[in-house]
Amino acid sequence: MKFYKNLHNTDLTPSKQQLLDAALILSILPHIFIVKPIMVLYIIASVVFLIFSKETKGRHLFIFGLFGGIALAFSFYETFTFVGLRKLSVFVSFVISLLFVAVVLQRLTKKINFYLLFSPALFLALSYFFYNTIMMLFYAITVIFCFLLLLLWHRMQSSFMAAFKMALSIFVFSIPSIVLLFLIFPRISFETKDFGFSASESIRTGHDGTMHIGSDALLVPSKRVVMEISFEKEIPNPQQLYLRGSVLYIDKTDRWAPLQEKLPDLSYKPKNNALAYKVTLYPHNKKWIYFLDHPLQAPQKANINNDYVVTSEKPVIKVMRYDGYSKLSNFIEEKTISETKEKYALKYNPIRDDELYEYMQTYDRTTGLMGLLKHFKNLNLSYSLKPSGIDLKDPIDSFIFGDKVGYCVHFASTFATMARMAGFPSRIVTGFKAEATNTYENYLVVKEEDAHAWVEVYLESKGWQRIETTSYAIKTQVQQNNQLQIKEEIQNPLLHKINLTYMYVRYTIQSWVLDYTRSKQMQLLKTLLEDIGAVLKLVAVFVVLIVFAYLLRQLSHQKKETHITYKTIKPVLKKLKKQGFIKEEHETMEEFLNKVYLKTDDETLLKIKNLYNQARYSDKKNLIDPFTNVVKLWLQ
Amino acid sequence: MRPQVKSLLTHLISINTSVLSRPTGYVWLLIVIMFALFFQAYMHNFNIVYITLFTVFSIATSGCYFGRKNLYDLSLLELPQERIFANQKANLKWRLINKAENPSYDVSVKTENSSEVFKKITKDTIVTLNHTFKKRGKNDYPKITIESRFPLPHVKFLKKHKEEKTLLVYPQPKGIPLQNYIKEQLSHHGERSDFEGIRRYEKSDVASLIHWPSLAKGGSMMSRHFSYTAQKEGLHFDFLSCADSDEERLSQLCLWIIECEKQGLDFTIKMPTNTYNSKRESVDEILQKLAQY
């Protein structure tokens, strides 16, 4: 209650220095995570000094100047060369640290100059070099609002609430203009790029181009997001959500590896009738770029080979956003297979996999691929993410003739070997198989737990047929996962939906705000030019925004008339309004009722006016009743 | 709904037309900030920076509405003024009225030479401004502007106050003091004689009338009283003979009238076409006539 009262107290207006301190604290927050610990120590020391010291003497300034110099030297000891400073990130970090020292020294003098006043804005602008995230967006907007609030609080010398209302009004009034400018301001740069800083992004692990066979070989099945995909139209059938990564031909017992030879690039494939979508791929420090199976073109600075594997020129160490065009099919046309591919796609080890080889002797080659699949099913394998008893020296035999429990890599490696033994060239494709449960509207999230491996079998003179080997498992064991979060989400669909909605909102903001580019602008313009409904929607949004801003302003500035006399006379004003007499905002009751009296000659109104004034402005409480009675009489 | 929309539009237009705006030096700072943000944003199509840029711009723009609204409901009401003499500083007073329910902030009321600043105007406030009128007679009120740099300092908002009424400025009182004039008159008409006694010294008494013996005896300061002083009650000022030019004459008469008023003496002024008598007309009426001569 006391706190609430203080918000309305006009005597508690902070000084200019206090307001500036608040602005400085707000603006340096993101830098605390960037600057070196010694610089943070320096800032803490100066804050402690400011709190406990009454005055700053010359020697104090000298000590802090010296300490600042030392902090700077230690912060940039490794890069303290002009060559180092040529790097933008180092240079900006250096400027920020220098600004810290300058601000501390100026603040210690307890004198406010222009540079000190301007420093919060500088800190904010410099923090943009390091962060390009949704958090930063909200932080920036909040800080700008706070700067406005602090400035107004200083200028109004009023209560916090009065300044807050004014700041909020100005801010809300600005929103339509901000949105409009954001949408229509010409974007000259074509693509969003960052400044080369990646302080806010963590490198995620992903496929390394091989497939390990061990029972603990699979990536930790975590909920970490690998990529996000938004489709222009509805999401395709969940059975088609295969994201192609690497293609593996060589069985190295404990792992499968790709061909050593570089495969030729894919010849041009027309994008007609292709499925279009946008992918946000989080950094995984490898070169693979994922597309729905099978992609038709690679993004810029990436290649696509004739196995439809897309690789970037450099490892993906930053968030990568690209357009995808795919032909969704479980069959890849390739009428002639190269000798190299055929050689490796038929290679198997009958000595190592002797038991499987023996089992394959019972396979009737005339039954073709269907017979092979039936033969595979007859192995009665079970699916589990926690297999046991896989011998890395004899992985296939130990899987199918041991516990018969494995997951996608074991199923894929077994079937690929079986196909080879049956005379079908085969290969393993690793990537992701997205879950239908991870979709929201036209948005799809692919997580690390969606990592998958499947087999492609070559059908002579036709092409590669995808085989989902895990679908031949006779049963799927319940996943024994020790991650509480996953368990909770599985048990609680509501939690899962909330999480997915949050991710969708985040993704929408990311793609339509942070990644808003010239192409998106053009796309929007095209939609507006072609679709009158879209124009109306946009106009409606702006009208709603403006009306909302106006209403909020009115509400925040409206002083409620609470005096009993006003409540009593209110019905009179309503009735007069119906008769065409509207009391203007700045008109006093006396002026208004006089005006009405002159036009109507209604003597009772004069009486009401006099009694209103007497009841309202005199101390006598017994005047309320006569006033109420006259009003009631007039209303009747 | 339609009348309300119309009323809102009229209100907005009215705000826009009645309150003017002028950029201040801070607008350059704003431009520099916006350019810096633009280049930072442009380099990499950096949308957070674009949003910051647009937010800064939009706040600066929408702040203008609130700046105009801050002054829109303020008005000045002229208050009765004290006597105003030419070439003398006059304290002009107005009532600054805030018709709005909300306070106005950081308001200054200015003329060319003086100003008064108010941090917050909740109710009516009296504004006092100094102004020196150069000429006697009917003068226009000085140009008054109500100014504010609220809410943001990059734009100055002005509301000009146009006072329809005029002010009557009296001639500048200057010339020979009344006492000297009386002495001079006496020397023309005869000796100092007809001594009537001594009385308590008054500030207006000339030093030559001080009765030094009374003072030397340790009593209070007294002055000698002659019968000629009684003539003062019927002082006669002649417009044509009191100075060389008309303006000097008017100033001279103005000075004497004020001194007569101070001493409670009656007087008659002979003008070329009229005669003014303090018994028939008030001092202000006579001064007004002199002002408009």
- B153 shares a domain with B185: no
Q: Is the peptide bond before A294 cis (omega within 30 degrees of 0)?
A: yes
For B145-156, how does the pLDDT look when each residue is reduced to its tens digit (9 = 90+)?
Answer: 999 998 999 999
Under the banding of pLDDT at 50, 70 and 90, the label for residue A483 is very low
CB spacing of B47 vs A185 below 8 angstroms: no
Q: Which residue of B has its CA nearest to A588?
A: B99
Question: What are A445's strand-pairing partners?
Answer: A228
- B248 shares a domain with B154: no
For A442-478, how does the pLDDT look when each residue is reduced to its tens digit (9 = 90+)?
Answer: 889 888 888 889 999 999 888 999 999 998 888 766 5
pLDDT at A79: 66
Check if the beta carbon of residue A440 is closer than 8 Å to that of residue A504.
Answer: yes
Q: Which residues of A touch B155 (CB under 8 A)?
A: none
pLDDT at A421: 92
CA distance A200 to chain B (A): 15
- B120 shares a domain with B69: yes
Instruction: Answer whether residue A620 shows pLDDT above 70.
Output: no
What is the percent of chain B with per-residue pLDDT over 70, rounded to a whole number?
A: 87
Q: What angle do CA A138, A139, A144 make, to 5 degrees?
A: 100
The answer to whether residue B142 sits within a structural domain is yes
For B148-205, how does the pLDDT look when each residue is reduced to its tens digit (9 = 90+)?
Answer: 998 999 999 999 887 778 888 989 988 888 888 777 776 655 445 556 667 777 766 6
CB spacing of A173 vs B43 below 8 angstroms: no
- B17 shares a domain with B119: yes
CA distance A258 to chain B (A): 37
pLDDT at B105: 92
CA-CA distance, B245 to B175, in Å (whole number)? 12
Q: Which residue of B has its CA nearest to A153?
A: B151
The answer to whether residue B281 sits within a structural domain is yes
B217 burial level (CB within 10 Å; 0-12, 13-18, 19+): exposed
- Which residue matches tokens 């036709």? A462
Return the residue in A170, A189, A510, A556 with the most chain B beta carbons within 10 A, the one to mutate for interface testing: A170
Q: Which residues of B touch A158 (CB under 8 A)?
A: 103, 105, 120
Q: What are phi and psi of A298, to 5 degrees?
A: -100, 150
The answer to whether residue B284 sits within a structural domain is yes
Q: Which residues of B touch A155 (CB under 8 A)?
A: 105-106, 150-151
Q: What angle do CA A622, A626, A628 make, to 5 degrees?
A: 110
CA distance B105 to chain A (A): 6
Question: What are A280's strand-pairing partners?
Answer: A228, A321
SS3 A88: helix
pLDDT at A476: 67
CB spacing of B45 vs A140 below 8 angstroms: no
* CB nearest A195 (choices: B44, B63, B150): B44
Check if the beta carbon of residue A306 is closer than 8 Å to that of residue A262.
Answer: no
- Two structure tokens written together for A593: 């009722």
CA distance A567 to chain B (A): 18
| Domain span holding position B245 | 178-193+229-291
Under the banding of pLDDT at 50, 70 and 90, the label for residue B79 is confident
CA-CA distance, A427 to A405, in Å (whole number)? 22
- Which residue matches tokens 């609002």? A145
Under the banding of pLDDT at 50, 70 and 90, the label for residue A319 is confident
CB spacing of B66 vs A170 below 8 angstroms: yes
Chain A interface includes B56 (CB < 8 A) = yes
Chain A interface includes B43 (CB < 8 A) = yes
Average pLDDT, chain B: 83
SS3 B271: coil
The answer to whether residue B216 sits within a structural domain is no
Check if the beta carbon of residue A237 is closer than 8 Å to that of residue A265.
Answer: no
Buried b (16+ CB within 10 A) or exposed e, A62-95: eebeebbeebbebbbeebeeeeeeeeebbebbbe
- B238 shares a domain with B187: yes
Number of domains in chain B: 2
CA-CA distance, B55 to B51, in Å (whole number)? 6
- B248 shares a domain with B162: no
DSSP string for A611-623:
HHHHHHHSS-GGG
Q: Calculate mean pLDDT across residues A531-558.
A: 81
CA-CA distance, A376 to A418, in Å (whole number)? 8
- B24 shares a domain with B83: yes
Closest Cα to residue A431, out of A314, A284, A313, A301?
A: A284
The answer to whether residue B241 sits within a structural domain is yes
CB spacing of B73 vs A173 below 8 angstroms: no
Instruction: Answer whether residue A351 shows pLDDT above 80.
Output: yes
Query: Is the ipTM value over 0.85, yes or no?
Result: no
Q: Calculate mean pLDDT across residues A541-569.
A: 74
- B144 shares a domain with B182: no
Q: Domain limits of chain A? A: 2-184, 211-497, 564-635
Chain centroid, CA A127 distance in Å:
18
* CB nearest B106 (choices: A155, A188, A515): A155
- B248 shares a domain with B122: no
The answer to whether residue B203 sits within a structural domain is no
- B261 shares a domain with B121: no
Q: Which residues of B touch A173 (CB under 8 A)?
A: 62, 65-66
The answer to whether residue B32 sits within a structural domain is yes
Q: Which residue of A has its CA nearest to B121?
A: A156
Check if the beta carbon of residue B140 is closer than 8 Å to that of residue B166.
Answer: yes
The answer to whether residue B70 sits within a structural domain is yes
CA distance A171 to chain B (A): 6
CB spacing of A173 vs B62 below 8 angstroms: yes
Under the banding of pLDDT at 50, 70 and 90, the label for residue A124 is very high
Among A114-118, A230-234, B185-189, which stretch is predicted with the lowest mean pLDDT?
A: B185-189
Instruction: Answer whether residue A489 shows pLDDT above 70.
Output: no
CB spacing of A177 vs B61 below 8 angstroms: yes
- B131 shares a domain with B6: yes
Instruction: Answer whether residue A190 shows pLDDT above 60.
Output: no
pLDDT at A139: 94
CA-CA distance, B70 to B120, in Å (whole number)? 10
- B4 shares a domain with B147: yes
Amino acid in position A383: Y
Chain A interface includes B123 (CB < 8 A) = no
pLDDT at B167: 86
